[in-house]
Amino acid sequence: MNGQIVVVGNGMAGSRLVSELRARDRNLRITVFGAETAQPYNRVLLSNVLAGVTAPGDIGLTDPAWYAANGVDARLGREIVAIDRVRKTVTCADGTVTPYGTLVLATGSAPVVPPLPGLDAEGVVAFRTLDDCRAIIRMADGAESAVVVGGGLLGLEAARGLAGRGLRVTVVHLGGHLMERQLDAEAGGVLRRTIAGLGVRTLVGARLTGAPTAGGRVTGVELDDGVVLPADLVVLACGIRPETGLARAAGLTVDRGVVVDDRLRSVDDPDVHAIGECAQHQGTVYGLVAPAWEQARILADLLTGGDARYEGSRQVTRLKAAGIELAAMGETGLGDDEAEVIRFADPARGTYKKVVIRDDRLIGAILLGETTTAGTLTQLYDRAAPVPSDRLALLFQGLDPATPADTPVRMPDAATVCVCNNVSKGRIRACWEAGARDVADVAAETRATTGCGGCRDTVEGILEWLGTQEVTFPTRSGRR
């Protein structure tokens, strides 16, 4: 294709697109702008950094030398402030103008900050970027108590991380139960009990009205019933909003996100594309990494002469917090009058399981506290495959020998192990047969484990199992 590809945004979607493009064509002219000065990093793992189990330097997605080595013009810390679709240029905050042949918007999202008094005070941080994470860690040092505003995925991960640092943590959530977008009310109640056992208090149905301050520093939060919760640190995890200002100012159609077609093109301009959290496809804006990376792969194919189409993504959510196992997918809020629903609940042990079936297909599932069948459910959900006649086998591993399970011996090669990067057991086996012997080797070849990290134990289990087989293959060094 002719002309320069300019990517605006160097986060998880933009950086993946750049690497996918370069893997397909060494001669493309690629320029990528990143508003952050940092090299692209895995935003999904920020909660691990906050918890202290991962160092900030260990969540990078691209080696700093990669751009130069691969002929990519990377302009980090350079924010684009305007798009001229007539002249086909983008303008940087420093005044420089760069022409494009194809423009890709991967501008991501910004945190929602409620317009309430006190939320601009010292000690209040919106949890979104690596700099935010560093600020929270710095403020947590010496603090005794924290309030996390928002009981969604990010808020609970932040709360668990702060509790692990020894702070007294309260989660204030406006919704009627935790993670209401992914869980039903009963699962939300079990989750609330589970995190209470981990030292995190939660208040649901609680509306924030402001944050009292003293000397310019936050001292707590105030609720609409007049209750004041003391806090040395307030973390805002109230949701995200797609960054669409550039697109809107350029005259592109914007709803919640930049509206794109099945080729991930703006519906107004075939030379402008959008992917990731800023893109809206068939009415949906995706806020998870797997859809963003799927979009990046498909767009890279299209921009290098392929004929792929994006048909939407199935979303699987995993909560990454020490002491909590949670996987949820699809339509989890349906009841017995709307679908076939199978449930198991043991709140005292923090266990809740639910599968939702319609027309003999899995359309939703929740696994909380025990997730050994998550791989099976994900495979059935992704492929819209018929479910087994023994429904309990979907909840409890080992009930039906004909059902694929999360053990390497019984897991079929077609089973998806890494949802974020769409890596099957078969691909991991192929890596092992080519000489890969540890997770790092597999990650280098397939990117498995580099998304949310939730599949790491499964990948390790597959490698351990392969290592016990009688047939041996060369290692990467050629040794047996």
Query: pLDDT tens digits, residue range 215-258?
Result: 999 999 999 999 999 999 999 999 999 999 999 999 999 999 99
State whether 29 and 57 are in the same domain. yes
Dist CA 293 CA 19 (whole Å): 11
- pLDDT in the model for residue 409: 58
Region of poorest pLDDT, from 72-76, 294-298, 462-466 = 462-466
State whether 372 and 425 are in the same domain. no
- pLDDT in the model for residue 2: 44
Q: Residue 251, by phi and psi: left (phi above 0), alpha (psi -120 to 50) or beta?
A: left
Dist CA 188 CA 167 (whole Å): 23
Predicted TM-score of the model (pTM): 0.87
- The answer to whether 313 and 378 are in contact (CB under 8 A) is no
> What are the structure tokens assigned to 197, written together?
């056992």
Per-residue pLDDT averaged across 372-380, rounded?
87
State whether 462 and 356 are in the same domain. no
| Whether pLDDT at 442 is above 50 | yes
State whether 56 and 25 are in the same domain. yes
- The answer to whether 127 and 140 are in contact (CB under 8 A) is no
The residue written with tokens 């307030």 in the block is 234
Beta bridge partners of 328: 317, 366
Beta-carbon count within 10 A of 446 CB: 21
- pLDDT in the model for residue 443: 83
DSSP string, 154-197: HHHHHHHHHHHTT-EEEEEESSSSTTTTTS-HHHHHHHHHHHHT
**How many CA atoms lie less than 13 Å away from 369 in the CB half-sphere?**
23
> CA gyration radius for the chain?
23
State whether 377 and 456 are in the same domain. no
Which band of pLDDT confidence, cut at 50, 70 and 90, is reported for residue 210?
very high
Per-residue pLDDT averaged across 114-141, rounded?
95
Torsion angle of the four alpha carbons 343, 344, 346, 351, in this order, in degrees rounded to the nearest 10: -90
Which band of pLDDT confidence, cut at 50, 70 and 90, is reported for residue 410?
low
**Higher per-residue confidence, 374 vs 301:** 301
- pLDDT in the model for residue 408: 62
Structural domain of residue 472, as residue ranges?
Answer: 407-480
- pLDDT in the model for residue 426: 84
User: What stretch of H or E contains 1?
Assistant: none
Which band of pLDDT confidence, cut at 50, 70 and 90, is reported for residue 450?
confident
Dist CA 89 CA 97 (whole Å): 6
Dist CA 317 CA 263 (whole Å): 25
Which band of pLDDT confidence, cut at 50, 70 and 90, is reported for residue 465?
confident
| Domains of the chain: total | 4
Region of poorest pLDDT, from 124-128, 412-416, 432-436 = 412-416
How does the average pLDDT of the chain come out, rounded? 90
| Whether pLDDT at 392 is above 70 | yes
Which band of pLDDT confidence, cut at 50, 70 and 90, is reported for residue 313?
very high
Per-residue pLDDT averaged across 311-321, rounded?
88
The residue written with tokens 């990117």 in the block is 447
CA 267 from centroid of its chain's CA atoms:
26
State whether 267 and 359 are in the same domain. no
CATH of the domain at 382: 3.30.390.30
- pLDDT in the model for residue 387: 92
Classify residue 315: in a domain, yes or no.
Answer: no
Look at residues 347, 375, 405 and tell me which one is the last residue of a structural domain.
405
- pLDDT in the model for residue 379: 84
State whether 221 and 203 are in the same domain. yes
CATH of the domain at 466: 1.10.10.1100
- pLDDT in the model for residue 155: 95
Q: Which of 242, 240, 258 lies closest to 250 in space, CA to CA?
A: 258
Classify residue 318: in a domain, yes or no.
Answer: no
State whether 199 and 265 are in the same domain. no
- pLDDT in the model for residue 361: 96
| Whether pLDDT at 399 is above 60 | no
Classify residue 296: in a domain, yes or no.
Answer: yes
Q: What is the pLDDT of residues 59-74, one digit of tens each?
A: 988 888 999 999 999 9
Dist CA 219 CA 199 (whole Å): 21
| Whether pLDDT at 480 is above 70 | no
Q: What is the pLDDT of residues 172-193, one digit of tens each?
A: 999 999 999 999 999 999 999 9
- The answer to whether 320 and 41 are in contact (CB under 8 A) is no
